Chains A and B, each alone.
Chain A
Amino acid sequence: MNHEAFGLSANLFAFLDWHEFFFLLFAGVACVAAVMVVLSDNVVRMALHLVLSLGATAGLFFLAGAEFVGAMQLMIYVGGTLVLLVFGVMLTAQTQLVALRTPAGDRVIAGILAAALLAVLVQAAFSIESWQKPGQGVATAPTATPLGMALVGVRVDQVAEENLVRPKGGYLLPFEIVSVHLLVVLVGAAYLARAKRRRVPRSVDLVASADSTKPRSPVAASSTLVAGGPK
């Protein structure tokens, strides 16, 4: 109806494709932030740039319609960097680690590794014949439910596709192995972190003893920070 009224702007914006715009935006942010991680010498700034880069990657996942993977990226990677940030703050708050200097040998090794990885990735990226957007033949169906069903042993997607009477077992065994593994890790962490009853009866004493010793270990410093420091 009003196509003429918008004709000029439509011509101007004919190239404006929001999907490509956001793809370029997220990809650009991810790359620039990743480079900034390497270039900055402050641990906290590095962590911030890492968060930006990983967050932009999550944005790419959402853009591709992989909502579950995107939320996972936010929860695990970006949330995990949070702990990294906490340790960065703890380390740089009181010692001379504010500015990190990388030895030249490390730079060379890192450069070789990065170049090798880049070569593999570039080769993989250009070996794909044609890239497709979501909605152009790539399925954009919800991914969480089939994933969850597959993890507990029912491949819903295969039931729908092949009309199998007895669907193939999904990923129940790997899922169980990973769960038990994580449980063992948690128990181990709790065992390592538990208070040693004979040496440190109360957390207040822990702080006091941390103050009296000459060199501060990061752990002692952290407990001082959390508990509010010596009075």
Chain B
Amino acid sequence: MAEFLIETIGLPSWLSWTAIAGLSAFLILNVIAGGALVFIWAERKIAARIQDRLGPTRTGGRFGWLQSLADGIKLLAKEDLMPDGADALLFRIAPYVSFCASFCAFIALPFAFDVVGQRLNVGVFFVVAVLGLEVFGVILAGYASASKWSLFGAMREAAQVVSYEVPLGMCVVVPVMLAGSMDLVTIGEKQAGWASNWFIFHDPFTFIIFWVYYTCALASVNRAPFDLAEAESELVAGFHTEYSGLRWSFFFMAEYGSMFLVSALAAILFLGAWNGPVPVSQLLGLSDGMAADAPYALRLLGCINLFLKATAGVLVMMWIRWTLPRLRIDQVMTTCLKYCTPIAAAMFAGVMLWQLFLPGGLVAGSFQNAAGVREGWLEQSNNQESVNEDALSDIVPSRRIVEVSR
């Protein structure tokens, strides 16, 4: 895209790269902030319906659809308080640490084929690594608040996130193994075609491991029934007890951002990414199934597809939150260490054996065969090398920093 600006419009290269970087940062920021607005409203409506209430009904006419905007204005006008004994510097930066971690993970998250802030060769790895950093903000907030409730909440969250990273990592490795790549774009493309190509339907083991992943993702973003860090019945509000106003809302933007992120990751890894259940465009002859040649309109449809899937994941999280009671800390640890981790390990071994002995699936030709995947993998790495050699000819040093699409 930056090449387009340089070659067609004739902008100088530094300006094009700055513009493209700014544009993608702006878009990602809007996904997080806009998503938070919509999801907070949805959460209130869903909570209300589950509890046999109406929820917000008046703000903005029908359905109270402007409620979160009104809440945002209220938060802006709120007094920003800081406890006397607080560590001022850490207290101030803690919300931004959380938010930055959430934002950084979105950089490597593809929304459709090549619609990605920066396509990383190790996308899955990067997203999972950065997602684990969000807890830094929570621990800093809990420590800096000089309040025992905050400290208890932060310590619980730290214990929970550190232990749930183990089964989460194991679940994430399975689609990586099936696709033969850590590149999220490649993983998504491997699931093109009918819904039977989605990794969740690849074999019985992946079907089970998807639910393990969802449980661990729920725990790693601290949603109920794993929301011990902000257990309001015992810890007032947990790590954000002492926060108010805009800083508090940054924590919430980070939380809703991560909810969307893990749901989108679930969609990419298991639910066919941006491919619909029926390859409509392929059946209509609009594309030949090669996403690289697909017109931009189709990529936009892919974006909508992924957004729908990720939103469905977030809505299920809300449904769970308002249905299940909160777990105790020992129950949380039991779920992780005695159930999630062994199940994930066993399913991982199962998928490995399945790939070894039944690479074509039970019915011949119904799934992608592993040999094709492996060949594609090697071939693809060669292609990428040649592409990179081409790229060497037009040296633009900042091409690695941000690239929206090709």
Interface residues of A (CB under 8 A from B): 1-3, 6, 9-10, 13, 16-20, 22, 42, 44-45, 48, 51, 62-63, 65, 67-68, 70-72, 74-75, 78-79, 82-83, 85-86, 89-90, 92-93, 133-136, 139-146, 156, 160, 203, 222, 225-229
Contact = CB atoms under 8 A, between A and B. Distances in A.
A140 B392 CA distance: 9
B15 A6 contact: yes
B400 A83 contact: no
Contacts of A6: 11-12, 15
B136 A51 contact: yes
A203 B334 CA distance: 12
Interface string B217-247: 0000000000000000011000000000000
B329 interface: yes
Contacts of B148: 229
Contacts of A86: 139, 155, 158-159, 162
B105 to A, nearest CB: 10
Given A144-B122, A228-B329, A93 B132 contact: no
Interface string B159-194: 100100100000000000000011100000000000
Given A89-B139, A226-B156, A71 B129 contact: yes
Given A2-B10, A44-B140, A67-B121, A142 B384 contact: yes
Q: Which label, helix, strand, loop or mixed, suits the secondary structure of the A interface?
A: helix
B343 interface: no
A89 B142 contact: yes
Contact of A145 (B89, B381, B401): B381
Given A2-B11, A13-B14, A62 B151 contact: no
B104 to A, nearest CB: 9
B264 interface: no
B382 interface: yes
Interface string B382-406: 1011001001100111111100000
Contact of B398 (A10, A18, A75, A90): A18
B267 interface: no
Nearest to B154: A89
B130 interface: yes
A85 B155 CA distance: 10
Contact of A93 (B15, B136, B151, B234): B151
B178 to A, nearest CB: 15
A85 B158 CA distance: 10
A19 B139 contact: no
B291 interface: no
Contacts of A226: 155-156, 159, 329
Interface residues of B, number: 60
Contacts of A134: 397, 400
Contacts of A145: 121, 181, 377, 381
B284 to A, nearest CB: 34
B122 A68 contact: yes
A93 B400 contact: no
Contacts of B377: 145
Nearest to B151: A93
Contacts of A82: 132-133, 135-136, 139, 158, 162
Overall SS of chain B's interface: helix
Given A9-B15, A67-B120, A67-B126, A142 B400 contact: no
Contacts of A74: 126, 129-130, 133
Contacts of B90: 44-45, 48
B125 interface: yes
A68 B121 contact: yes
Contact of B12 (A3, A20, A227): A3
29 contacts: A1-B9, A9-B15, A17-B398, A18-B18, A18-B401, A19-B401, A44-B143, A71-B120, A72-B125, A74-B130, A75-B132, A78-B133, A79-B133, A82-B139, A86-B159, A89-B154, A89-B155, A133-B397, A135-B399, A141-B385, A141-B388, A142-B384, A144-B121, A145-B121, A145-B181, A145-B381, A226-B329, A227-B329, A227-B330
Contacts of B159: 86, 226
A227 to B, nearest CB: 6
Contact of B162 (A17, A83, A93, A203): A83
Contacts of A79: 129, 132-133, 165
B106 interface: no
Chain A CB within 10 Å, residue with most, of B154, B155, B165, B384: B155
B181 A62 contact: no
Nearest to A69: B122
B9 A2 contact: yes
B136 to A, nearest CB: 6
Given A71-B122, A142-B183, A226-B159, 4 more contacts: A44-B143, A79-B133, A142-B384, A145-B181
Contacts of B41: none
B138 to A, nearest CB: 11
Given A44-B90, A83-B162, A156-B378, A93 B143 contact: yes
